[in-house]
Amino acid sequence: MSHLGYLLAGWSIGLGTLALYGWSVLRRARNAARQVPPGRRRWMTADD
């Protein structure tokens, strides 16, 4: 396969950045959720 180094760099930077950002959002959300009472979490419903 030609240009393998470029392919690996492009895909790993692309998917890696998205994964890292997603993980960072989840981590910050866990920390923030601990400080807010369940009733004030906007998205929560009675059965979820």
Give the x/- contact pattern for other proteins in 1-40, rule: CB under 8 A: xxxx-xx-xxx-xxx-xx--xx--xx-xxx-xxxxx-x-x
CB-based contacts of 44-47 (< 8 A; 24+ apart in sequence): none
- Taking the complex as a whole, the smallest distance from the CB of residue 27 to other proteins amounts, in Å, to 10
Q: How far is the CB of 8 from other proteins (least distance, A)?
A: 10
Minimal distance in Å, beta carbon 15 to other proteins? 7
Structure tokens at 17: 């950045």
Both tokens assigned to 14: 């692309």
